[in-house]
Amino acid sequence: MTILIIAEHDNNKLNPATLHAVTAAEKLGEVHVLVAGSHAQSVAEEAKHINGVAKILLADAEHYANGLAEEIAPLVVSIAKDYSHIAATATAFGKNLMPRIAASLDCPQVSDLTEVVDAHTFVRPIYAGNAFATVQSDDNQLVLTIRATAFDAAAATGGNAVVESIAAAPVQNLSRFVSRELTQSDRPELTQAKIIVSGGRALGSAEEFNRILMPLADKLNAAIGASRAAVDAGYAPNDYQVGQTGKVVAPELYFAIGISGAIQHLAGMQDSKVIVAINKDPDAPIFNVADYGLVADLFTAVPELTAALG
């Protein structure tokens, strides 16, 4: 069996999220990686060293520059017959692209899988992670998106895959890229961070969100996350949201500060190794999942914590 993984990248560097998909795919058979991009040779060069990858397919064309699903899906469909599984990491990129490929091939998709049982059987969360379903398929081709936090990253070095250039598919011209506005941050990326400091509605304002959480995050070299309530209230940008409909994270250490712990939020962080909750409400549901809970006013406790870490 051969598995095709669609690499996520910015034409320059490979997104490390892709490495987690390689680990999941290795359980199924030989792994090939498709790099579709524009002037993306450096990505192919990087991908060929991933441990466990046998072959890199490089499709280099102007219309792959922005990762548009309308353009990449026909390319994948054109080479799909050689593959039993077509997979990507369940990021915004993978979630957008993969169902388009699945429907074009008339094959089912297993979304956000957390466990590979065998080539036809997978485990995935449903109902905001309140249950885990084992699903099975008789189809001889499957599309998968893989939850990165459920699998270790494959080593970025040690591999020596062959790089093969493949022809681009015709331009579709259904959609056009206009602009991209990325949140500027020097912090570690949320889904890759070892420590996350996350804030909720109790912070009260964007100023307080930054004033209280930044020093703690700086001290721990942590990424900053937020609950949906904090994002909706405008305290933090959208892409900070941790939860069922935001990002799913599993860091070594997760600080939930002023977050009550709604099931939708827990769905995004309950696989963290150690969870610390700071909340003044002793009955907040977050304390049911926290390894260490501190019932205190965050406005005094967090600065005190930051100082104590000095």
Residues 1-60 that bind another protein (CB under 8 A): none
Nearest partner of 238 among 227, 254, 253, judged by Cα: 227
| Sole window of 25-33, 80-88, 158-166, 171-179 interacting with another protein (rule: CB under 8 A) | 171-179
Query: Do residues 305 and 299 make contact, with C-beta atoms less than 8 angstroms apart?
Result: no
When asked if residue 104 is in the footprint of another protein (CB under 8 A), the reply is yes
When asked if residue 297 is in the footprint of another protein (CB under 8 A), the reply is no
Q: Which of 177, 207, 281, 297 binds another protein (CB under 8 A)?
A: 177
At residue 116, the 3 state secondary structure works out as strand
Query: Do residues 198 and 224 make contact, with C-beta atoms less than 8 angstroms apart?
Result: yes
**Structure tokens given for 108:** 């089912």
| Sole window of 44-52, 79-87, 206-214, 238-246 interacting with another protein (rule: CB under 8 A) | 238-246
**163/295 with CB nearer another protein:** 295
Q: Which of 38, 42, 78, 96 binds another protein (CB under 8 A)?
A: 96
Residue type, 230: A
Least distance CB 229 / another protein (angstroms): 11
Q: Which of 82, 118, 178, 186 binds another protein (CB under 8 A)?
A: 178
Least distance CB 48 / another protein (angstroms): 24
Q: Which of 103, 162, 167, 171 binds another protein (CB under 8 A)?
A: 103
Residue 145: burial class (beta carbons within 10 Å; 0-12, 13-18, 19+)? buried
- Size of residue set near another protein by CB under 8 A: 89
Going by the DSSP 8-state scheme, the letter that residue 247 receives in this structure is B
When asked if residue 207 is in the footprint of another protein (CB under 8 A), the reply is no
Nearest partner of 80 among 166, 8, 161, judged by Cα: 166
Backbone angles phi, psi at 267, to 5 degrees: -60, -25
At residue 204, the 3 state secondary structure works out as coil
Least distance CB 160 / another protein (angstroms): 30
